[in-house]
Structure 1
């Protein structure tokens, strides 16, 4: 399965000490899929990885990219933390949640493509290319249709790079406006209690009507630590972001990071 979709994809050349990596066998969670799981422990500065080969394979980010696209839009002032409304233009989309006015939070929750495409349209290719390069997003290749470069197209990123970027986002190593970074964090917060908060974004890549590339990326904040994760699954069908999310939650539960 992997070779079908990975034949023209490059690998991330990761410069890291092997002593910081714990290779784990999580194959039981990936039945029916090629895939990988990457976890970074901020406190211990260590990595746990299932399938190192796949973990460094670059593939299309699909909707996980919206985390950063929205951040770029905030930095450009196209949307702001207090004013992120966009009106629906009446186009009939295949998902009912898309057929409505949106703000950043609703657009992120329902993964509303047109909202982020409008951010890109207003930003333009030149500014967008500069932002992608500034944060070092995967292969940095947006040289395709501005409406779909992140959807099974030219832009590609590996699970390891997804985790590294989430860590940089969390620490704001990009040097972006702190309020904008905090707004993005809030927009992907899925669950929060006094003890821990869970942040994440799914992504699904479809080819010829089949879901072939599923992502779930995010981080868990506890009172004593923060854990960053990325799960990618690939298959001939049913490789969805929701499936990647369920796999991730099961693994995090086994690791006593999430219940």
Structure 2
């Protein structure tokens, strides 16, 4: 009995630690981030976090605290939960059933890495169904993801709500993913690193995931992730209110502009 109580207490303490990680990070508004948005004619939020020093810069604090449906950015959390619970293998192949799909790049057999790269909603809906509603709810609450509300539809809550997360929360979540400060095994975190889209930029490696909500006016675009550069980590979130699909590439390009402002891709730390 004493052992079980001690074990439960340890899990509770661990959960509190994971949720509170970076909760007290210093946050300040950066006018240059605001300028990046204004010069592009966009409304939204840019947020950057120097993970090693817990310092956050935002374009507009009130906008960056507003919650929105995460859309496909939730695939990062979905993959972590699926890998940890064992409902999917990193090398698993998801066959296409030959039914027409709204995006042509989804119309083929996909590995988990492929599905992440092309943001294949049907694959991640299958994964969510395998996890199940109660287990998904428990994990979303355990990792403190946004408002942690998933409702009754296990395969739609990140697309239609009620799950919602702010750009500031996205940035902190990406910081926790990048540093392993989440209640997942080291194997799961390593597998996620291999799955998430990534590329070399200068001397750094950029990890990032897009999100896109098209059935609202204006549409909502996300690009979230982190940059690793010789031990330095900068987590980020770009959230844009978009009126034209032609502006979808701005999700990534404005995030990169913000990261360049922070010298995230430079060979040396700007403060050294």
TM-score range, shorter chain: 0.7 to 0.9
Task: Tell me the residue number matched to 1:233.
Answer: 240
Listed one character per residue, the Cα deviations across residues 99-154 of structure 1 (whole Å, up to 9, x for unaligned) are 01111110010000011000011111011111101101111111043222111421
Secondary structure of 1:69's aligned partner: helix
1:23 and 1:77 map into 2 onto residues whose CA distance is 41
1:1-259 pair list within 5 angstroms: 16=24, 20-25=26-31, 26-31=33-38, 32-81=41-90, 83-192=91-200, 195-207=203-215, 212-238=219-245, 242-258=249-265
- Shift of residue 193 of structure 1? 7.2
Runs of 4+ in 1 over 6 A off after TM superposition: none
Pairs aligned (count):
242
Paired residues of 2:133 and 2:153 also in contact (CA < 8 A) = no
8 Å contact kept, 1:73–1:119:
yes
Of the structure 1 ranges 109-118 and 41-50, higher mean CA displacement relative to structure 2 is found in 41-50
Whole-angstrom CA distance in 1 between matches of 2:120 and 2:247: 16
What SS does the aligned partner of 2:110 have? coil
TM-score scaled by length of structure 1: 0.86
> What runs of 5+ residues in structure 2 fail to find an aligned partner?
1-21, 267-272
TM-score for both structures, normalised by structure 2: 0.82
Q: Which has the larger radius of gyration?
A: 2
8 Å Cα contact 1:214/1:240 also seen in 2: no
- Taking only aligned residues, the RMSD between alpha carbons, in angstroms, comes to 2.2
Cα distance in 1 for residues equivalent to 2:72 and 2:247: 11
User: Within 2, Cα distance between the matches of 1:155 and 1:238?
Assistant: 24
Which ranges in structure 1 are unaligned for 5 or more consecutive residues?
Answer: 1-13
Report which of the two has the higher share of helix. 2
Q: Secondary structure at the match of 1:150?
A: helix
Q: Is the 8 A contact 2:242 2:248 kept in 1?
A: no
Q: Is contact 1:211-1:239 (8 Å) kept?
A: no
SS, match of residue 93 in structure 2:
coil
